[in-house]
Amino acid sequence: MDILAKLADLGFTNAAVLNEAQGLTRIRTSKGWVYERFKSEEQIEAWANRHIPETVE
């Protein structure tokens, strides 16, 4: 599973994997940085449904 590619597909382009073994990822949202652990693409999709990507104006 490529966490960053999945997040980018969902509009979250400013993200970094901090610990790949644990799935710890830092993602920039409209409300700031969020730290999450993902174990599957389904978890990423569910998380993305509740958050808004950062917009650059």
Q: What is the pLDDT along the chain (57 residues), one digit of tens a residue?
A: 799 999 999 999 999 999 888 889 999 999 999 999 998 999 999 999 999 999 865
Q: Contact 32/51 with Cβ under 8 angstroms?
A: no
What is the pLDDT at residue 22? Answer: 85
